[in-house]
Structure 1
């Protein structure tokens, strides 16, 4: 690899558009600080970078000292996707719960408190909220990260979240444009395809994004998905028709008129990397209209970052990417960095609130009880049977979820058994036949509380739940995913998310001890 001269303006622009992730908690790598000093405009932080708010503040202080305009970005959606509280679970319910409560003022207040905490830790960009309209029950990656399946509901809560977040000086980044809701493929693993016509796209997927752009969102994140109605060949992140022809195009021409920063989704995701590679995909993304390359699923090192910088420089010199387009992208990164620095210098007028109180209030308001008014009739301390689906890559395996810990605080002696997803080729009936006797044996004569997460998507889980309720009709069922399946059990609770506060709200109802 031939290193470009970091003092050269072309090389500097190429470095500026890169936003890598890295390993480290106590101190940032020396190479990262050096690149930030020499023009790189930002980084992405993930759960592996976070131990505590105090630790994160020290780490980000190093990044901002190296480059006061640095775009320090995280995925802090609340609910199932949290970085600040990766070890314990979020104090805030996620988008689906906020959509269920359907109070935009509440969503705005939650986002403002979340943003205040991010700003206090030195975070300057939040890759949230998800503006996806989650109307496909088989969606494996969005689910409770969406406010709901109604475009107008999603739009009003997306706007409220953007307003609350940006009032604290943290830039919001709505995602995943032009909409990842109507897919049954996870773009981390393969290329999803949305087979909708342009009229449907305008009436459904684009409604929340139009509202967010009109409300002044500073950033939009592209989606790695194929939308043949706009581009039959290239995923949105690499498509000029999607980024320039739709997102950037003037409203009068049917576009959204967005003039802020366009982030790519992670360029290491298989939807792009498997076909175009990270280097090739990054060149194509900038050429298509993206401004900041997110390379964050895994930690990068200096050689990888410089190699990608040099790939962008070569693309300009070989005529595959215009120098003007690269410079425009770099300038948008710098402009956002100036905005975040000015906001940080001005300080926030958003007062601190009791995060646990506002988060728990939202979780309680999102909770649904079936039948209405029903209560649990516990026989002693219950036994919690947690039926655990496979890991959602966007959520991360390290974030705890569930009900047992919260219920144990209210009913000492509560026990739990965990029943993980079987191998893909396992017979669902056989899995249920193995799980149910084990659950009943562990529970004895006590009440069983079955905790599921998107039960409609997993045959092994639904078979297990059906057999369990047949054997114990008084089973309490808690659905902590998107509640597409009909209620079952003597008492059925839907939390609309698996955040820690959602578990607490459900535990209060089961234990009969709210507050």
Structure 2
């Protein structure tokens, strides 16, 4: 008789459809029992309502639930309807002073913790390498220089984590050189192994620093890295060479890893969501991210459950992953009750900070889109 499957839901990070927990959403959460929930603009109405949603998620799934969103600044800001415009990474880097990046991180941490979010999928550690190519990251990169990326991202991360919100470096590895947007298709990166490991890896190495730096979590990209896979197209998240050889061995990273959204075209045009979820977990990834539809979430969860029962996901593999997740949770600050007065005061600080940054920028950098590069370069 086959043994009961270990709990696989703890390795899933899932999205929910709206600003409240309706009966179908509660049923999905009870079935999957995810280790984390990701929020988007569709989940946000008011700050008080968002804080109530995250509190109810913890009531249902436990106080140690990971609740995340993407709050980089600039174009990627899930709370933009509440905060207004906040500066992006390249806008902050253009000022040349990492104190602005640290303050942006500190204010971001306070903002997210106030509404019950304890993980931010930022900062971007990609290098700006493809001017004029919309691969979704040029207006999100700190710089083309690995040292500058490390310097500004380190300041942002330390500022944010000083307020009790954990960050996540992304998109491992070499994604700044990708030729297409992974939301649509599987992009390719044609950088050499030497370039990837000397340049693109540098910000991760500096921020990890053998475990002494602030980096505790890394998101793997969906790009195909030709330097490591010259035959079949292979997304980075299912690449043993990248995950085991580069991230765990060469970099020595012992923190938590998470995929990008498995519903992106880069994955769904390459394999099924179920195949991707199992492939990522077998590859040693700790958390699989499925952001949008209940159908895809159930498919991924069922596939992982079946793989665990059949021994394709081993007890040892999952136990090692759970240990890393437990270590991450030790760094979380406890949730706190929402305060309307504190929230309004914080919004005032954020808007004054944004105004100071924007006042220092040349006009051509005050509004950015995905075609623009950082540090005033076009």
Q: TM-score range by the shorter chain?
A: 0.7 to 0.9
* 8 A Cα contact 2:174 2:191, kept in partner: no
1:227 aligns with 2:236: no
Q: Distance in 2 between matches of 1:58 and 1:257?
A: 39
Q: Give the 3-state SS of the residue equivalent to 1:264 in structure 2.
A: strand
Seen in structure 2, the aligned counterparts of structure 1 residues 178 and 48 have a Cα distance that, compared at 3 Å, is same
- State the distance in 2 between where 1:237 and 1:203 align: 20
Contact 1:138 1:184 in 2 (8 A): no
Name the CA distance, whole Å, in 1 between partners of 2:302 and 2:29.
16
The aligned residue for residue 122 of structure 1 is: 116
User: Aligned pair in 2 of structure 1 residues 483, 245: CA closer, same or farther (>3 Å)?
Assistant: same
> Conserved in 2, the CA contact under 8 Å of 1:240 and 1:287?
no
Tell me the SS of whatever aligns to 2:241: helix
Question: What pairs with 1:88-487 in structure 2 (closer than 5 Å)?
Answer: 90-140=84-134, 141-214=136-209, 215-232=213-230, 233=232, 234-249=234-249, 255-296=250-291, 298=292, 300-301=293-294, 304-340=296-332, 342-344=333-335, 354-367=349-362, 453=369, 484-485=377-378
Q: The residue matched to 1:230 in structure 2 has which SS?
A: coil
CA distance in 2, matches of 1:183, 1:138: 12
Contact 2:173–2:200 at 8 Å: present in 1 too?
yes
Contact in 1 for aligned 2:139/2:369 (Cα 8 Å): no
Structure 1 residue 482, shift from structure 2 partner: 8.1
Measure the CA separation in 2 of the matches of 1:33 and 1:206: 40
d(CA) in 1 for partners of 2:13, 2:139: 27
Distance change >3 Å, CA 281–CA 120, structure 1 → 2? same
Counterpart contact for 2:142–2:375, Cα < 8 Å: no
> Does the Cα contact within 8 Å between 1:50 and 1:56 map onto a contact in 2?
yes
Q: Write out per-residue CA displacement over residues 97-120 of structure 1, whole angstroms, 9 at most, x where no aligned residue.
A: 011112111101111101101001
Secondary structure class of the residue paired with 1:314: helix
Q: Answer yes or no: is the 8 Å Cα contact 1:50–1:84 preserved in 2.
A: yes
What is the distance in 1 between the residues matched to 2:54 and 2:200? 35
Sort the Cα spacing of 1:360 and 1:323 in 2 relative to 1 into closer, same or farther, 3 A.
Answer: same
Q: Return the offset for 1:304.
A: 4.7
Mapped to 1, the partners of 2:267 and 2:205 lie a distance apart of 25
- The alpha-carbon distance between structure 1 residues 268 and 227, as it changes in their structure 2 partners (threshold 3 A), is same
1:59 equivalent in structure 2: 53
Tell me, in whole angstroms, the C-alpha distance in 2 between the residues paired with 1:355 and 1:138.
Answer: 31
Cα offset, 1:195, TM superposition: 1.2
Counterpart Cα distance in 2 of 1:280 and 1:212: 32
Cα displacement (A) at 1:223: 0.3
Partner in structure 2 of residue 379 of structure 1: none
What whole-Å deviation, never above 9, does each CA across 1:348-390 have from its counterpart, x for those lacking one? xxx95711111221222333679xxxxxxxxxxxxxxxxxxxx
Distance 1:282 1:134 in 2: 29
Q: Counterpart of 1:216 in 2: which secondary structure?
A: coil
The offset of 1:178, in angstroms, is 0.9
- Paired with 1:273 and 1:337, the residues of 2 have a C-alpha distance of 31
Aligned length: 362
TM-score (norm 2): 0.87
Q: Deviations over 1:220-260 (max 9, x none)?
A: 100001112223342211111111211111xxxxx111111
**8 A contact 2:93–2:375 mirrored in 1:** no
Q: What is the RMSD computed on CA atoms of the aligned residues? A: 2.9
Q: Point out where structure 2 has 5 or more consecutive residues left out of the alignment.
A: 339-344
Match of 1:28 among 12, 15, 21: 21
Once the two structures are superposed, residues 201-233 of structure 1 have per-residue CA deviations (whole angstroms, 9 ceiling, x without a partner) of 122211111122222222110000111222334
Could you say what secondary structure the match of 1:339 adopts? coil
Deviation at 1:32, TM superposition (A): 4.5
Cα 1:481/1:167, change in 2 over 3 Å:
closer
Counterparts in 2 of 1:89 and 1:139: CA distance versus 1, 3 Å: farther
The Cα offsets for residues 436-459 of structure 1, whole Å up to 9 and x where unpaired, read as xxxxxxxxxxxxxxxx846xx6xx
1:90 offset after TM fit, Å? 4.0
Is the contact between residue 98 and residue 362 of structure 1 (CA under 8 Å) also seen in structure 2?
yes
Quick check: 1:52–1:84 contact (8 Å CA) kept in 2? no
Match of 2:254, SS state, is coil
Going from structure 1 to structure 2, the CA distance change for 1:89 and 1:167 (only over 3 Å counts) comes to closer
Q: Specify the SS of the correspondent of 1:310.
A: helix
Q: State whether residues 82 and 90 of structure 1, in contact with CA within 8 Å, keep that contact through their aligned partners in structure 2.
A: no
> Structure 1 stretches of 5 or more lacking a match?
250-254, 371-400, 403-451, 458-478, 486-515
